[in-house]
Every structure is written in structure tokens, then in C-alpha cells.
Amino acid sequence: MELLTNPLSLLVLLPAAAGLLLLAVPRDNEAALKGFTLGATLLTLLVSLKLYAGFDAAGAGMQFRLDLPWLPAYGINYALGIDGISLLLIMLTALLMPAAVLASFSCIKEAQRAYYICLLLLEASMIGVFAALDLFLFYVFWEGMLIPMYFLIGVWGGPRRVYAALKFFIYTMAGSVLMLAAILWVAAAHHAQTGAWTFFMPALYAGAITPDTQFWLFAAFALAFAVKVPLFPFHTWLPDAHVEAPTAGSVLLAGVLLKMGVYGYLRLAVPLFPAAAAAFAPWLAGLGVFGVVYASLVAWSQKDIKKMVAYSSVAHLGLVVLGIMVFEPAAAAGAVLQMVNHGLSTGALFLLVGVLYERRHTRMMDDYGGLAKVMPGFSAVFMLVTLASIGLPGLNGFVGEALILFGSFRVYPWLAGAAVAGVVLSAVYMLGMYQQVVFGPLRHEENRLLPDLSAREWLYLLPLVLFMVLIGVWPAPFLKRLAPAVNNYIVLARPQPAAPALELKNEQ
């Protein structure tokens, strides 16, 4: 019964159950399918608000804990719990989901039931990743999420969808299988040390593993997360997947899935192997910053709006990785906040691109221009989102970027300096794109009759815009909830004093 009374567990199970229940709705009853899915995601959002209300901002430990035995012989539990970091990411997921569903109403025409089932199962596994405190459970959600996303891209995507879906799946899977081996090693090392099997993350944090071993284990975890983030040079799957995915798929890919990689560093890779993390941190931070500059330059040269937004994601996430790899409270808090910001602004950008694509079936900047006259509402929202994305003070992006840069200047002044250059570049390409699409003369006759945002489109864009402004002017409630979790992370990231060495040996 606790499975359902615990709001966190309910959040995981509700979308999954809704997805299965959708099978009972007749295949061709479109209205019922849409209504049911929207209802389920709204209900999930409601439960997540309850989570927010019940969350103790000052509490240092994991909250809403649930611990049910699953496979006791292996010490595997259905263990859930959240701190401030996971709280914000779960809220973000729950908020983006109804928007993604609403945006799908008009653009998905085929096999609707299967589509909405995939969306709901995806939501369940995304929330599961952020809520899991058991390493095994985490991995199940982490990998399980690939199946619905694979189908979303591959079945309802653009012209090169099969290639993009396969690339997405195989890249992510190849990155994560080594993490599976590392997870097994960590659990076995814990078993050898204490005689008990467990996959409970906090219990494994304290494990004493020699720095040499940590190096390899961290490398295995870091690879899995680097593919997901995606860090340069593991990012090549992302433009393909983003461009080919349907609007809702892009929104969730950019908004939530990429955050799982960063979340993995915060929750697993760094706390489990602090010594190795300290050694890897400058390199990862360097890769992050290189990604900021590189992806910004690539984005600058794009002609396809969606592709440009995809590359801008790589740049933003690079900055976030810099933030978490300097182990400074301000930078880490900024990084987590920036993840939420990026989810909101890039999510909104993909939604807006979807709005354009639905009207004109093209995403090329050259095909637009002068939209300010025909679509004033759209242009206003687009303006605000663009500005939020480049970090204009007063909007959410600024708060996160500023915190990351302030925090990291103290540790890596040169890297932070280079990152600033990247941020400036983002203004260049984003504003350039905005200008080309919205301002100027109306170059194409077809664009003269484009309708402005419909009520449904306003409905899913407004909440995102609202939060962008809210976080921009008043980030305190979010930062307050983050503080204990971030401090925890900083403490865990400090390499422990030399612990008794432990090596796995042959049992014989």
C-alpha cells in the first residue's frame, strides 16, 4: 500500500499505470486518448506540487523515503527518496510533460494510442531515474527509458528517423553497459567489505575503494553520463536525435533526458568515487567549456532552427558540467538551477519551432522572416524565450549562468573566462536567428497568412514563460531548497582520508 500512499512512488507509478490503462481505450477514439493522457500528466503535475509543498527546505537528508524489498537475495530494494536537486528536476519533468502532450495533439496523426503510451512510460522512467536511491533501480529506469524514446524518434520522427533512433539507442546503450559492469563491481566490493549485498546509494558512498580502482570505475560511470549530457566529443548523437524527433520528443530529450547525465554525476559518479572525481574534474570541466565554445560556433553556422537549438543545448550543458566539476557551492547550485532553466527555455524553444513547423513544414531560417507582423503573439513569446536562453538579467538563464561563472572563477579562472566567451557567442547566434526569423521584411508570400498562436499553444507556452520570469526575478525559493543538497554534494565530493585499501579477489 505504501507503493501508492508515498507521493514519490505514486509519481513513478501513476504515469506507468496510466500508460497501461491507455490500452483499454479504443484505438480510434482520438478525443478519449488525448484527454486521458493529458489528464494523467496533469494529475502527475498535481502530485508533484504536493511533493513540493511537503518538501522540507532545510532538511539535509533524503525525503519521502520509501524502502520496499524487491530482490532481497541481491540486496535490491525499491528505494526512493529525493533531495532538493531531484525535487527540482522532478518538478521540471512534471511541468514539461503536459506541454509536450498538448503540443502533440495537432502534429501526431498516426498510431496515436501507441504514441501516448510511449510518452507516459517515458515520463514514469524519467521520474524514476530522479527518484531512485537504489543503484539497480536507477539503472532499470535509466535504460528502460530508452525503449519509449527509441520508438518516439523512430516511429513518429522526421525523414531520417530510423538512423537517428538507432544512433540514439546504440550510443546510449554502449555508454551505459560499462557502467553496469562498474555498478556490479561496486556492489561486489561492498559485499566483500561488509558481507552484505546492497545497492543502496548512500550505503555505497562510504565504500573504501583504492584510487587506482576508482579511476576505472569513475571512467565507466563518467562515460555513460558524458554520452547522455552530452559532453564533447560524445555529443554526435544529439543533433540527429533532436532534429528527427517529433516536437514532444525533442522537448523531453532536451528538457529532461540530458539532465539525467548531469544528475548522474551529481548523484553517483562523484560521490561514489571522490578521489577519482577530483582527478577527472579539470578534464571534464575542460571538455565542458570546450563544448560551450565549439557547440556555439557550430550553432552559429546552422541554417535549420531546430538544429541550432540542439547545438545550443550542447553549449548550455557544457556550462552546467563546468558548474558541477568545480565543487563550489555557488557553482553547483547555479548548475542545478541552470538545468531547470535550460529545460524551460530550450523546451519552450523546441515547442516554438514545432509551432512554426506545423504551419509551414520547414525549419529553415531562410523560409521565414518578418513574422513579427503576422504573428505578434508568437514573436513576443519567442523573444522572451530567446532572451531567457541567452541569459538576459531578469530572466532565469542569467541567474544560473552568473552563479556558475562566479563559482568557477575562483577555481578555474581561465576556463570560466573561456565559458564567458561561449555565453557571448550564444547571444550572437540566438539573436541572429531571431532577427532572421521574426524581423525584416516579409520575404515569402506563404508566410503572410500564418495564424498566430492558438489558445492551446498559449496554454502550454504560458506556464513555461511564467516560470522563466519567476526564476529570473525571485530564484530564492528554489535556491533555498537546493542548498542542503548541494552542500551534501560538496562534502561527498571531498576525497576521504586514505581508507583501508580493498581489492576484489578471486573467491577461491
- List residues near another protein by CB under 8 A: 70-74, 111, 114, 136, 139-141, 143-144, 146-147, 150-151, 154-155, 161-162, 165-166, 169-170, 173-174, 177-178, 180-181, 184-185, 187-188, 191, 504-508
Tell me whether residue 12 or residue 405 sits nearer to another protein (CB atom): 12
Q: How far is the CB of 173 from another protein (least distance, A)?
A: 5
Sign of CA dihedral 141, 55, 93, 117: positive
Q: How far is the CB of 357 from another protein (least distance, A)?
A: 20
C-beta contacts of 467-471 below 8 A and 24+ residues apart = 467/95, 467/344, 467/396, 468/341, 468/344, 468/345, 468/348, 468/384, 468/385, 468/388, 468/395, 468/396, 468/397, 469/384, 469/394, 469/395, 469/396, 470/396, 471/337, 471/340, 471/341, 471/344, 471/396, 471/399
Q: How far is the CB of 169 from another protein (least distance, A)?
A: 6
Q: How far is the CB of 149 from another protein (least distance, A)?
A: 12
Tell me whether residue 45 or residue 152 sits nearer to another protein (CB atom): 152
Tell me whether residue 140 or residue 383 sits nearer to another protein (CB atom): 140
| Residue 337, CA distances (Å) to 251, 377, 388 in order | 18, 28, 13
Tell me whether residue 110 or residue 445 sits nearer to another protein (CB atom): 110
Rounded to whole angstroms, the Cα distance separating 94 from 127 reads 8
Q: How far is the CB of 264 from another protein (least distance, A)?
A: 16
Which three-class secondary structure string do you get for 390-458? HCCCCCHHHHHHHHHHHHHHCCCHHHHHHHHHHHHHHHHHHHHHHHHHHCCCCCCHHHHHCCCCCHHHH
Q: How far is the CB of 307 from another protein (least distance, A)?
A: 22
Tell me whether residue 174 or residue 466 sits nearer to another protein (CB atom): 174
301: exposed, middle or buried (Cβ count in 10 Å: 0-12, 13-18, 19+): exposed
Q: How far is the CB of 94 from another protein (least distance, A)?
A: 21
Tell me whether residue 70 or residue 205 sits nearer to another protein (CB atom): 70
Tell me whether residue 174 or residue 424 sits nearer to another protein (CB atom): 174
